[in-house]
Amino acid sequence: MTKPKPADRSVAGRKLDHLRAVLEDPDVERGRSGFDTISLTHRALPELDLDAVDTSTRFLDKPLSFPLLISSMTGGTGDEIARINRNLAEAAEATGVAMSVGSQRVLFTDPASKGSFQLRDAAPSIPLIGNIGAVQLNAGLNAGHCLQAVQALEADGLYLHLNPLQEAVQVEGDRDFSNLSGKISDLVSNMPVPVLIKEVGAGLSSSDVELAYAAGIRHFDVAGRGGTSWSRIEYHRRADEEDDLGLVFQDWGLTTVESLLETRDVLVKKTDPTTLIASGGLRDGVDMAKSIILGADLCGMAAPFLAAAQESSAQVIRQIEKLRREFQTAMFLLGCADVSQLNANVSLIRSRSKFW
Ligand SMILES: Cc1cc2nc3c(=O)[nH]c(=O)nc-3n(C[C@H](O)[C@H](O)[C@H](O)COP(=O)(O)O)c2cc1C
């Protein structure tokens, strides 16, 4: 594996470095999110008509055709980035799934990036979610900036991403994560839309979920280990050949299954309604079904859509329809007529390996 050119240090250029690393290094995809440790009970007599199996659900008060979210990826300057977001938005609208955009911090360093986040005309009816790094609340951004991000997208919610591993490895990373939960709490009370938290591939632990719940967060996206490794992506942007910090930490974190179980165990004891989102290495409709069985309300995927989104919205639509067929087939073979029969129904699990 060779290291590419030195990192582009501008916020907008960094995005292109990231896209290149995901598309060019197959080992950025780490595998082993934990789904292969779970087997489900097949029903030979499901007593259902496959075509009548109802995959629909709701998220942020809007209907979805099935519980899928296109996870946060991009936004910024240049035609390539704008095209990716538009293709994703058109496909999400055509198929009735949710979409979140990549970090909107670039709005405040490169105002020309705003167009890449103006997606409401392409996606008038689906949940759209904005995105800002929580650590930016310690680096000059405040509730006013977050509101601008929400308004640019006409968003139904705002993701705050928690990415201490990525920032630790990133050449120009922001590493001051001190006293963030208080700032998150202030932000939650000042936002007109729900604030959601997500990791970016290393998972949320129970202590994180407790802190964030106390700060007023009610939507939790685990974004666990096993899919895209941000430590490895940032490794490619560190110029020194000898510097392997990003490789040492490329498999750091909680797997998606571990994080889902841990997060669910905290949330079931809470009185307020909460939403649990599974992401990090989900790759097919069976992973989605397993996630819903483990208590998730929604399933996110990022990297699997990137190459298709560079091509066309039609390619993304094909991919989403394939996922929906897989998810519906899994429900049929488990004897579940609708998503409520799948959700947190651990009796559908036949066996699980010891590690969890
Ligand atoms: C190309 C790319 C760019 C991403 N950019 C962001 C981002 O700006 N903000 C964010 O919260 N997560 C970002 N992510 C992380 C994803 O939203 C997701 O949490 C993570 O990739 C795990 O999902 P996956 O294994 O399906 O890719 C990005 C992922 C990819 C592949």
Beta bridge partners of 301: 70
Query: Residues with beta carbon inside 6 Å of ligand 1?
Result: 18-19, 22, 71-74, 102-103, 131, 159, 161, 198, 200-201, 223, 227-228, 279-281, 301-303, 306
Q: Whose Cα sits closest to atom 7 in ligand 1?
A: 102
pLDDT band for 354, please (50, 70, 90 cuts): low
Which residue did the predictor score with more confidence, 285 or 241?
A: 285
Residue 220, C-beta contacts closer than 8 angstroms, at least 6 positions apart: 196, 197, 198, 204, 209, 212, 263, 267, 274, 275, 276, 277
Q: Which CATH architecture has domain 57-261+274-352?
A: Alpha-Beta Barrel (3.20)
Atom of ligand 1 at shortest distance to CA of 221?
19
Residue 114 pLDDT > 90: yes
Domain boundaries, the chain: 57-261+274-352
Residue 129, C-beta contacts closer than 8 angstroms, at least 6 positions apart: 60, 69, 72, 98, 99, 100, 101, 153, 155, 156, 157, 158, 159, 196
Q: Whose Cα sits closest to atom 19 in ligand 1?
A: 200
Distance 165 CA to ligand 1 centre (A): 13
* Lookup: tokens for 241: 């050949």
Closest CA to 54 of 328, 342, 335: 328
Distance 302 CA to ligand 1 centre (A): 5
Distance 73 CA to ligand 1 centre (A): 5
* Lookup: tokens for 309: 């989104």
Atom of ligand 1 at shortest distance to CA of 199?
19
Percentage, residues of the chain above pLDDT 90 = 90
Atom of ligand 1 at shortest distance to CA of 198?
11
Q: How far apart are CA 16 and CA 76, in angstroms?
A: 9
Query: 165 and 252 in contact (C-beta within 8 Å)?
Result: yes
* Predicted confidence (pLDDT) per residue in 286-302, tens digit: 999 999 999 999 999 99
Task: State mean pLDDT over 190-215.
Answer: 98
Q: How many CB atoms lie within 10 A of CB 184?
A: 21
Q: pTM of the full predicted structure?
A: 0.96
